[in-house]
Amino acid sequence: MSAHPGPAPIVDTHAHLDDSAFDADRDGVLAASREAGVARVINIGYNPASWERSRQLRERFPDQIEIVLGLHPLDAMEFRPALTIALQRAIETMRPVAIGEAGFDFSRRMPALADQERAFQAQIELAAAFGLPLVIHQRAAGDDLMLALDRAPDLAPIVLHSFDGNQRLMDWAIERGCYFGVGGLALKPGSTDLRALLRQAPRDRLLLETDSPYLAPPAAPSRRNTPANLPAMAAALAPIWSLDAEAVCRLTTRNASRLFGLGLAVAGAAMAADDGEGGLNQG
Ligand SMILES: [Zn+2]
């Protein structure tokens, strides 16, 4: 019972491998990810064209890819009532593990707030109707996000993808039982405040993600991020929680598997105390 046989599989809970950045070598990127120990990649289909590309990607790599379907807030100007119907049909036929990425992005002047609100509300309602987790994209919009989600208290778990925010948002997210997507943003040298916030996150709510091809960590060999960077990212992130890389992989894979129903076996899963599973932050 004391040994952990073999390294834990890793889950990349947020990637965009359907992005054109991977058109030249997508198969090689998936092979390298598997070689690096990344057992699953959750690919986020963020608009109708990306839903279909995500579906095709999962069809090609059925044992490596799962998909999430939604409308990115930066695509909210595309939102129409007909798009809600199209998304509902896509959820019924393509069977995603969650809805998203949805939310608010106020880091630019577009899309208009009203468009973002309509698109987000429609996806909140779909997540409620299907009982699926909701993957949130949030930039400079923590207060509006909390307001919108407080009006929907009965959703399945919420994932705050690439978590960024202040103490108020962290307190709210812990209270709400949100999951926290952690990746390249937390590894930037200037992200000292973010790392201090993430230290407070309950360990049974932590998820690893790359957001490939975006947010490559500082030490990565290329500015194009890939899931194969996750073992090194886990090692670089682990000191935030005073853990080692193996413990971070083990607990984040356990969390991702529980949340998205991935059915991944993690060695040492019965030993909750060694990496703090199930409890709030322990210091
Ligand atoms: Zn994304």
What is the whole-number distance in angstroms between the Cα of residue 70 and the centre of ligand 1? Answer: 10
| 262 within 8 A of 20, measured Cβ to Cβ | no
DSSP character at residue 9: P
Look at residues 207, 227, 270, 272 and name the one whose alpha carbon lies nearest to residue 38: 227
Q: How far apart are CA 113 and CA 90, in angstroms?
A: 25
Crossing angle (nearest 10°) for helices 230-237 and 245-260: 110
Q: How far is the CA of 118 from the centre of ligand 1 (A)?
A: 19
Q: Which domains are present in the chain?
A: 10-275 (3.20.20.140)
Residues 123-141 have a mean pLDDT of 98
Q: How far is the CA of 180 from the centre of ligand 1 (A)?
A: 14
Cα of 209 from ligand 1 centre, angstroms: 10
272 vs 208 pLDDT, higher one: 208
CA 14 to ligand 1 centroid distance, Å: 6
Taking the C-alpha atoms of residue 10 and residue 21, their distance in angstroms, rounded to an integer, is 23
Whether pLDDT at 70 is above 70: yes
What is the distance between the alpha carbons of residues 157 and 133, in angstroms, rounded to a whole number? 5
**Cα 280 to middle of ligand 1, angstroms:** 27
For residue 268, the CA-to-ligand 1 centroid distance in Å is 31
Q: What separation in Å is there between the alpha carbon of 168 and the centre of ligand 1?
A: 23
* CA 75 to ligand 1 center in whole angstroms: 12
Measured in angstroms, how far is the CA atom of residue 130 from the centroid of ligand 1? Answer: 21
Widest CA span in the chain: 55
The three-class DSSP label of residue 255 is helix
Contact, 231 vs 205, CB < 8 A? no
Q: Which pLDDT belongs to residue 143? A: 97
What is the predicted pLDDT for the residue at 5? 53
Backbone angles phi, psi at 227, to 5 degrees: -60, -25
If you measure from the C-alpha of residue 192 to the centroid of ligand 1, how many angstroms do you get, rounded to a whole number?
A: 22
Distance 62 CA to ligand 1 centre (A): 21
pLDDT (mean) for 200-225: 96
CA of 5 to the centre of ligand 1 (A): 33
* Residue (of 216, 210, 36) closest to 28 by Cα position: 36
> What distance in angstroms lies between residue 82's CA and the mean position of ligand 1's atoms?
23
Q: Do residues 237 and 186 make contact, with C-beta atoms less than 8 angstroms apart?
A: yes
Write out pLDDT tens, residues 4-31: 456 899 999 999 999 999 999 999 999 9
Given a cut of 50, whether residue 69 has pLDDT beyond it is yes
At 204 the pLDDT is: 98
CA distance 185 to 190: 9
The stretch 106-127 carries a mean pLDDT of 96
Q: How far away, in angstroms, is 16 Cα from ligand 1 center?
A: 7
Return mean pLDDT, the chain: 93
